[in-house]
């Protein structure tokens, strides 16, 4: 089945430096199957026009397609209501929307706490720092163990009646750790705190049920889920989205405008000012449907098999250190070799046709926790093969030998 799935990704049929491309940078962005490329092209070649604002045929067709995508996405994440699904430009945009509207609403003020974890991407750190700077609230952090897992020893003291928001990642982009979000959500709810889950790294690898998770907000990006860049989703509970003020002003988010006063639109349009990424929303729905047709359990099992194979092989390399050895991981392998800079290692591996990521992975505080500046990082997707894992390991061994 893997060969049939792989054949659906045209970008993989190329060579890098005379070698077949082995793409292992999937945690940064995943490639797009033909079904998604077709959905994008169909929009632009058949129904391209603005939505919600015209009575002509194309406008009605485009509006119907866009709203059908919203309905499909709501079903995919088991949202109670489709109006709770807000189109954004991605995870970062969704987190900023929540952080900024909480500031504007006055729901968080001086003396309150926001809790994040030491595994967070900068996108789930900086917006909360900015909120704290604006409001006088304080930012607290769940510490990380040497294995790259949350240290929940003191979680009961980190959560207080002053904790207003807990913003945590479902899966670590840098280490692959699958976090026990249910444990923290239950404790946060016992203190009356809101919870935002960063699902950027989980939505492509596991079934998402926002009702079962029990969070208040859930965000993810299209480009991590086989869809285009520049599109994402913020899901939020109706009561909270209605309580919070609008974020950006402009077209679509209004009901009536005069020079003296403006009344705002109902959900979801209240948070969708301006012309949206219409094609992106349609293609995102196509991508989620494509994943569902394969089966999220099938995707996860395949990626786990590749991760296990790569992890076993990489330990044979002298001086190797794996960062992130949690018991429950997604298909991410983050590592370093003693005395070798991650950038040099990644460059040599790229010269051999293997695409991996190097650097701090937008997780500088996490890198500091381990006393390093960055890692080399391989991440797996459904279209990767065991043969590609072996090619990657061979390239890594050769690069390590050259840099020793």
Where in the sequence numbering do the catalytic residues fall?
A: 362
The residue whose two tokens read 């009605």 is 60
Largest CA distance in the chain: 71
Q: Which of these, 210, 250, 252, lies nearest to 234 by C-alpha position?
A: 210
For residues 384 and 24, the answer to whether their CB atoms sit within 8 Å is yes
CA dihedral 253→266→235→35, nearest 10 degrees, is -70
Contact (CB, 8 A) for 224 and 205: no
Decide if 141 contacts 114 (C-beta within 8 A).
no
Sequence-separated (6 or more) residues with CB below 8 Å from residue 70: 82, 85, 87, 268, 281, 285
Report the alpha-carbon distance of residue 211 to residue 220 in Å, rounded: 16
For 56-93, b where at least 16 C-beta lie within 10 A, e where not — what string? Answer: eeebebbbebbeebbebbbebbebeebbbbbbbbbbbb
d(CA 394, CA 354): 10
**CA of 276: how far to CAs of 67, 71, 99, 266, in Å?**
12, 16, 21, 16
The count of residues in the chain is 404
């Amino acid at each position: 089945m893997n060969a049939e799935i792989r054949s659906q990704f045209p970008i993989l049929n190329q060579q890098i430096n005379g070698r077949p491309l082995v793409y292992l940078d999937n945690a940064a962005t995943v490639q797009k199957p033909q079904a998604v490329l077709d959905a994008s092209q169909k929009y632009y070649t058949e129904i391209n026009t603005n939505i919600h604002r015209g009575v002509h045929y194309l406008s009605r067709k485009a509006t119907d397609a866009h709203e059908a995508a919203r309905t499909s996405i709501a079903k995919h994440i088991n949202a109670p209501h489709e109006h709770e699904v807000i189109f954004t430009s991605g995870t970062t945009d969704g987190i900023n929307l929540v952080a900024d509207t909480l500031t504007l609403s006055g729901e968080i003020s001086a003396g309150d706490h926001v809790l994040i974890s030491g595994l967070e991407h900068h996108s789930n750190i900086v917006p909360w720092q900015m909120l704290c700077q604006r409001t006088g609230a304080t930012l607290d952090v769940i510490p990380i163990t040497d294995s790259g897992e949350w240290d929940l020893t003191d979680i009961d003291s980190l959560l207080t009646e002053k904790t207003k928001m807990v913003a945590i990642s479902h899966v670590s982009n840098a280490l692959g750790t699958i976090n026990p979000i249910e444990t923290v959500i239950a404790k946060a709810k016992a203190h009356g705190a809101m919870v935002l889950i960063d699902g950027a790294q989980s939505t492509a690898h596991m079934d998402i049920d926002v009702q079962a998770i029990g969070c208040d907000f859930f965000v993810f990006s299209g480009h991590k889920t086989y869809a285009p860049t520049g599109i994402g989703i913020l899901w939020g509970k109706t009561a909270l989205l209605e309580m919070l003020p609008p974020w950006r002003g402009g077209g679509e988010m209004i009901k009536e405008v005069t020079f003296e006063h403006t009344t705002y639109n109902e959900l979801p349009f209240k948070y969708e000012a301006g012309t949206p990424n219409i094609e992106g929303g349609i293609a995102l729905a196509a991508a989620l449907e494509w994943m569902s047709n394969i089966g999220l359990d099938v995707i996860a099992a395949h990626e786990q098999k590749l991760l296990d194979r790569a992890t076993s092989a990489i330990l044979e390399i002298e001086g190797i250190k794996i960062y992130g050895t949690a018991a429950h991981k997604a298909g991410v392998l983050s590592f370093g070799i003693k005395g070798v800079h991650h950038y040099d290692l990644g460059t040599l591996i790229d010269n051999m046709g293997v695409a991996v990521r190097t650097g701090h992975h937008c997780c500088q505080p996490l890198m500091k926790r381990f006393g390093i500046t960055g890692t080399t990082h391989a991440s797996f997707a459904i279209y990767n093969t065991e043969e590609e894992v072996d090619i990657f390991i061979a390239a890594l061994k050769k690069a390590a030998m050259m840099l020793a």
